[in-house]
Chain A
């Protein structure tokens, strides 16, 4: 029995079209005009305990709607969800006691309170046993390196520091599932690395199931073994990331610096992506021609100074994937 089971989830929003201003608001109240938006049209997947799943998709694809339904704060129009045997929106209070949720854009701590006081308040809200709380808190403080931040009011923390505190806050009641909505948004590079490291460690060491949404493809590359791509309210792909890459954009890139001017190459299955002085960037399909054979063919006829192979950037993979499915930003 999977920990999270989602079947044929459907959600339609009715959006009121409203004219600006007080008069417009009044008119909207009297005679509302509605437009319907199908946010989810049959989303299905399941998740085992301890998995780390990345959820990606363009804005408006249905990511946040899915997260909101799974976390119990939104009721779907159709379909079935079970999380550890509970229907999230029906057993909301019981369900939310077992999950942790971090929104990258919003804080769950108290702006004017020192971090430690906020943690204590969460202990009381979640009714965590004091002894157990102290143990969990100390472990999280050590793991997320929060010792020096505990006495500081949240408003004085940098975004990166705050995100670490947020993750700890979401874990104080030892949830079975952690939802992370855009946890690295707006962070600088070292903070992003740190957050990814912590999420990985939490998942590995505490066994918490992690479901994260992100725009940052490096998050996905670094974290998730499994990726669900969502678009137009449907699951477009559900696979390990490497499999996704292989299916969508199998090509590799070869960067060559020649001793002299870059020659005109005409090799089957190889295209020239760019040419600049003595450098060439080539794209090739490894199923048509292997990298060693290609390199041998080039070095046989030309003097080469440097050569290396790369995979296409993950952004490119995903962009190509969206193109294939006509799922670019709505």
Chain B
């Protein structure tokens, strides 16, 4: 375990060094990301400016959902680049052979593949949103709420990471039509940024039981906001729901093992 962390640190050093060879471009790309993401926020702010509240949700509450989901996704994205580009950069090119030729776990090597510093733009957006939420709402950042927020983020990171692993697993079967999966991943993340009560029941159920995005954002955030679930889930259950993110990640890795087994028996 310690050994694995030491290796990740070496990978990170190497990755940063490579990116900082062109510091200007890294900073500009990061700022560009921040600006594109902040336009999303502006759009919502304009919406609220026009209509006041949407189905009983204040803008600060939406900002908290958005902020936590974006911070989680940034972290997941930061550590899963190797899985995100697995089909194009590893399966299609045969570079996965190289991974298998090294005496370390493939997961560890794919995490270490690249840590993109340009992702700070999205992180910045997330932080700005949390600040907006804190200043416009009567939010109390008690130790309990901070711990719950951290637990929520960790569950969400696990879930997003799991989604990217599943996307990589599909690449073992087809490197075509991966764009469709990408739309699912990113579309799901978009959907998770809004309160579930805005959605029809079937979609809410999908986001609760199939790809449990609601469990790693909506439900626990309700507790931080001091609101009961409008759909009537018991209050004690809400803070536990981020565990679903870890269950999803575990299931993704079961699929991953099947995929690797398929790869080593067909060689493609």
Main secondary structure of the interface of B (DSSP, over half): helix
> A86 within 8 Å of B by Cβ?
no
Instruction: Report the contact-size class of chain A (Cβ under 8 Å from the partner).
Output: 35 or more
Cβ of A183 under 8 Å from chain B: no
Which residues of B are found within 8 Å of A26, using beta-carbon distances? Answer: 177
In the complex, are the beta carbons of A126 and B7 less than 8 A apart?
no
Which A111-127 residues sit within 8 Å CB-CB of chain B? Answer: 112-113, 117-118, 120-121, 124-127
Q: B6, B11, B21, B267: which contacts A112 (Cβ < 8 A)? A: B21
B184 part of interface (Cβ distance < 8 Å): no
B176 near A97 (CB under 8 angstroms)?
no
Q: B3 touches which one: A14, A22, A127 (CB < 8 A)?
A: A127
Chain B count of residues within 8 A CB distance of the other chain: 29
* Contact string against A for B residues 1-39, beta-carbon threshold 8 Å, 1 for contact and 0 otherwise: 001001100110010011001000000000000000000
Any A CB within 8 A of the CB of B142:
no
* Inter-chain contacts of A267 with B (CB < 8 A): none
Q: List 8 A-B contacts (CB under 8 A).
A: A13-B267, A25-B174, A73-B267, A75-B264, A92-B100, A106-B95, A108-B101, A125-B7
B230-268 vs A: 1/0 string, CB under 8 Å?
000000000000000000000000000000000011110
Q: Which of A56-71 contact B (CB under 8 A)?
A: 65, 68, 71
Q: A190–B93 Cα gap in the complex (Å)?
A: 29
B104 at the interface (CB under 8 A from A): yes
Q: A110 in the interface, Cβ–Cβ < 8 Å?
A: yes
State the 7 A-B residue pairs at the shortest beta-carbon distance, nearest first. A97-B103, A112-B18, A25-B176, A124-B10, A73-B100, A74-B267, A75-B265
Q: Distance (Å) between the CB of B189 and the closest chain A CB?
A: 24
A169-B182 Cα distance, complex, nearest whole Å: 35
| Residue from the set B7, B95, B100, B173 with the largest chain A CB neighbour count within 10 Å | B100
Question: B7, A124: Cβ atoms under 8 Å?
Answer: yes
Query: Taking A13-B266, A110-B18, A120-B10 as contacts, is the C-beta distance between A126 and B174 under 8 angstroms?
Result: no
Contact B264–A125 (Cβ < 8 Å):
no
Given the interface pairs A13-B267, A121-B14, the reply to whether A68 lies near B177 with Cβ below 8 Å is no
**A93 interface residue (CB < 8 Å to B):** yes
Partner of B97, one of A29, A68, A99: A68
